[in-house]
């Protein structure tokens, strides 16, 4: 597979940049949204972005078509790519640059600083982050000058231009600041340089000279900017990190012997004539010319930070495509192997997966904090993650709503479940008695009896719980007395006697259900499931009888864990004892689950 590419120069113009993006997406002469005609190209990803505001706007467009954007600029950390699934950064966040500028100012004792920034959201984040570090270290900003995002010819009026020039002259002459920090892209610096021409024409070198300019890494040192950089009398510039690419110089050497169609490059930059036509004052190119003498703005012999980020971006796309291609090569259908889609190129890049609940992060010795092992939680500690079947209202930090709901929800839910079991048992007994000759129990056969049992039993528990919540509502509280070195955040459910009333009523229902089921255990199986219900109620009662001493003898989160365990264990007992035999018949003895078998067993 070969990666193709399409390179576009935005010329520091937003409209040109947006136009190029739309042209890549739609590829037709007229931009018709969601319409793609006569195209064999497949846009996999876009590598772009020195200007943070433009990059985020373009990312919103690309997201609609699931085309990832790999930005090689350094953006504010507050504007993270997590909010946009199609946006990825190839460079460190801007907070590292802010720290670097701060250390530079502190190292040279520059404490009176002038700030220039383009009118953008990115500049607002930058200024806020930088000025937040100033007061605690004795650094102050003498002024903050916002530069409009227009070129010289697009200024609304010459009056505004003259007003801005006057402000600059005041900053240069009346302010004692001799160190200026300028935040912005190449167009911003070119605009400021054009203003400085007029400023220097109207004030002498003594008043306006001797300034130190500190530039950020949003600047792309193009030929046009380098030709005007002298207006800043030399400057310090922060750049992104870059590394030496071993094969890069060999590639340049190969390029020197292979380029045939770039006559302008050979004529202007290498000062030789590549074509056969004669031209006065220039020698013919031998293809052995050295590239060392070419200005960096025309031809780079080493990669700067932006180029290195672009290089890494291309590698990221290539490796992602290779991974996707390898997976698709093993697909079983031909249709799945067809065209790769852009959204498949966003590789998951983490050092570790997240630790599961019940485990905690343990730092790896000598590794960055992103890399860690997952170790079991310490003794006497439980996870605060809400899962794996746990009663959710009993976990997490106690809050007013959860304290009000957790015990009533538990009590009424289980009362409803046991009432249903009781109604089912009574229904089986009544149905058997109604089959006897001359029985007057037939009038109770139907939905009215079980519905009445469930409703009455549930209402009693509901009235008890509502009265508890109304008269003595539980609330979040801190237990400072149970332990000497720990404070327990818990729900205050006093008076505890009401909780035991709720629990006692639930136990009464289960005992009644157990007794009815036990007495009816010998009835024909066609009429009832008394044996299964007997076992389920026996398990249920035993669990909650064991709960009482365990609950009264524990404190803090251990008390909560006992209740959670009892809830889960009793739920599992009810379900397994009643429904596991049914599932066994359905799955492993389906021949018994027939009308003939039921009739035979009845007779």
Model confidence pLDDT, tens digit, residues 298-321: 666 777 788 888 888 898 888 888
Strands 488-492 and 235-237: what pairing?
unpaired
Q: Mind listing the pLDDT tens digit for each residue in 210-264?
A: 788 898 887 776 666 666 677 777 688 888 778 888 777 777 767 666 655 566 6
Inter-residue contact 55 to 75 (CB < 8 Å)? yes
Closest CA to 218 of 234, 235, 239: 239
Inter-residue contact 394 to 407 (CB < 8 Å)? no
Q: Say if residue 424's pLDDT is above 50.
A: yes
The residues pairing with 112 across neighbouring beta strands, listed in sequence order, are 140
Q: 332-352: string of b/e by CB count within 10 Å (b at 16+)?
A: eeeeeeeebebebbbeeeeee
Q: Which residue has the higher pLDDT, 266 or 154?
A: 266
When computed from its CA atoms, the radius of gyration of the chain, rounded to whole angstroms, is 39
Report pLDDT for 462.
92
Closest CA to 469 of 440, 498, 448: 498
Q: Say if residue 338's pLDDT is above 70.
A: no
Say if pTM beats, i.e. exceeds, 0.75. Answer: no
Q: Say if residue 152's pLDDT is above 50.
A: no
Distance CA 574, CA 540 (A): 7
Q: Say if residue 335's pLDDT is above 70.
A: no
Q: Mind listing the pLDDT tens digit for each residue in 538-583?
A: 888 888 888 888 888 888 778 888 888 888 888 888 888 888 887 8
Lowest mean pLDDT among 403-412, 473-482, 519-528: 519-528
Percent of the chain with pLDDT over 70: 74
Report pLDDT for 459.
92
Report pLDDT for 331.
57
Report pLDDT for 460.
92
Closest CA to 52 of 217, 223, 248: 217
Report pLDDT for 247.
79
Give me the DSSP letters along 228-297: HGGGGTSEEE--------TTHHHHHHHHHHH--S-HHIIIIIS-EE-SSS--TT-EEP-S---STTS-TT
Q: Mind listing the pLDDT tens digit for each residue in 155-201?
A: 455 667 777 888 888 887 777 788 889 988 777 887 888 888 777 77
Report pLDDT for 463.
92
φ, ψ for residue 215, nearest 5 deg: -105, 155
What does pLDDT average to over the chain? 77
Report pLDDT for 289.
67
Inter-residue contact 74 to 94 (CB < 8 Å)? yes
Angstrom CA distances, 252 to 25, 266, 291, 301, 366, stand at 32, 14, 9, 8, 39
Q: Mind listing the pLDDT tens digit for each residue in 102-136?
A: 999 988 888 888 899 888 777 888 888 888 888 87
How many other CB atoms sit within 10 Å of the CB of residue 354? 9
Q: Mind listing the pLDDT tens digit for each residue in 26-73?
A: 765 555 555 555 555 678 888 887 677 777 778 878 888 888 888 887
DSSP letter assigned to residue 593 = S
Percent of the chain with pLDDT over 90: 3
Q: Say if residue 80's pLDDT is above 60.
A: no
Q: Mind listing the pLDDT tens digit for each residue in 428-487?
A: 777 777 777 766 777 777 788 888 889 999 999 999 999 988 998 988 888 888 777 778
Q: pLDDT category, 387, cuts 50, 70, 90?
A: very low
Length of the chain: 603
């Amino acid at each position: 597979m070969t990666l193709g590419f399409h390179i576009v120069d935005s010329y520091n113009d937003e409209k040109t940049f947006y136009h190029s993006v739309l042209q890549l997406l739609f590829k037709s002469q007229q931009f018709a949204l969601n319409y793609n005609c006569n195209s064999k190209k497949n846009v996999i990803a876009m590598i772009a972005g020195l200007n943070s505001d433009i990059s985020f706007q373009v990312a919103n467009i690309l997201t609609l078509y699931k085309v990832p954007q790999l930005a090689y600029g350094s953006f504010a950390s507050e504007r993270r790519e997590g909010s946009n699934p199609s946006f990825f950064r190839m460079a460190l966040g801007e907070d590292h640059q802010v720290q670097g500028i701060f250390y530079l100012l502190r190292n040279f004792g520059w404490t009176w600083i002038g700030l220039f920034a383009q009118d953008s959201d990115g500049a607002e984040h930058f200024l806020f982050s930088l000025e937040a570090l100033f007061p605690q270290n004795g650094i102050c900003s003498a002024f903050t000058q916002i530069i409009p995002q227009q070129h010289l010819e697009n200024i609304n009026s010459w009056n505004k231009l003259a007003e801005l020039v006057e402000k600059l002259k005041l900053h240069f002459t009346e302010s004692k600041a001799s160190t200026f920090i300028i935040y912005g892209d190449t167009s911003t610096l070119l605009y400021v340089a054009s203003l400085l021409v007029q400023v220097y024409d109207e004030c002498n070198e003594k008043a306006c000279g001797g300034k130190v300019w500190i530039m950020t890494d949003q600047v792309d040192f193009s030929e046009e900017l380098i030709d005007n950089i002298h207006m800043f009398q030399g400057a310090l510039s922060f750049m992104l990190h870059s590394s030496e690419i071993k094969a890069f110089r060999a590639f340049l050497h190969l390029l020197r012997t292979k380029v045939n169609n770039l006559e302008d490059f050979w004529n202007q930059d290498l000062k030789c004539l590549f074509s056969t036509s004669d031209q006065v004052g220039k020698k013919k190119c031998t293809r052995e010319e050295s590239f060392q003498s070419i200005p960096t703005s025309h031809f780079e012999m080493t990669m700067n930070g932006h180029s290195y980020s672009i290089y890494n971006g291309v590698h990221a796309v290539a490796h992602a495509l290779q991974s996707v291609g390898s997976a698709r090569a093993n697909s079983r259908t031909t249709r799945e192997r067809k065209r790769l889609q852009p959204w498949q190129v966003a590789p998951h890049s983490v050092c570790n997966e997240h630790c599961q609940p019940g485990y905690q992060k343990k730092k790896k010795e000598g590794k960055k904090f992103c890399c860690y092992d997952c170790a079991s939680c310490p003794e006497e500690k439980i996870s605060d993650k809400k899962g794996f079947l746990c009663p959710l209202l009993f976990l997490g930090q106690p809050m007013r709503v959860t304290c009000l709901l957790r015990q009533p929800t538990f009590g009424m839910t289980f009362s409803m479940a046991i009432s249903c079991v009781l109604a089912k048992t009574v229904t089986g007994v009544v149905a058997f008695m109604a089959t006897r000759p001359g029985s007057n129990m037939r009038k109770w056969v139907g939905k009215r009896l079980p519905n009445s049992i469930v409703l009455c039993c549930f209402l009693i528990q509901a009235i008890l719980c509502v009265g508890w919540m109304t008269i003595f509502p539980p609330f979040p509280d801190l237990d400072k007395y149970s332990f000497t070195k720990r404070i327990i955040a818990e729900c205050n459910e006093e008076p505890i006697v009401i909780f035991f009333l709720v629990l006692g009523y639930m136990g009464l229902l289960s005992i009644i259900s157990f007794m009815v089921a036990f007495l009816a255990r010998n009835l024909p199986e066609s009429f009832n499931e008394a044996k299964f219900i007997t076992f389920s109620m026996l398990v249920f009662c035993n669990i909650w009888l064991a709960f009482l001493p365990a609950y009264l003898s524990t404190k803090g989160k251990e008390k909560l864990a006992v209740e959670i365990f009892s809830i889960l264990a009793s739920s599992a007992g009810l379900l397994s004892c009643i429904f596991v035999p049914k599932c066994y018949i359905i799955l492993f003895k389906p021949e018994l689950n027939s009308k003939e078998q039921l009739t035979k067993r009845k007779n």
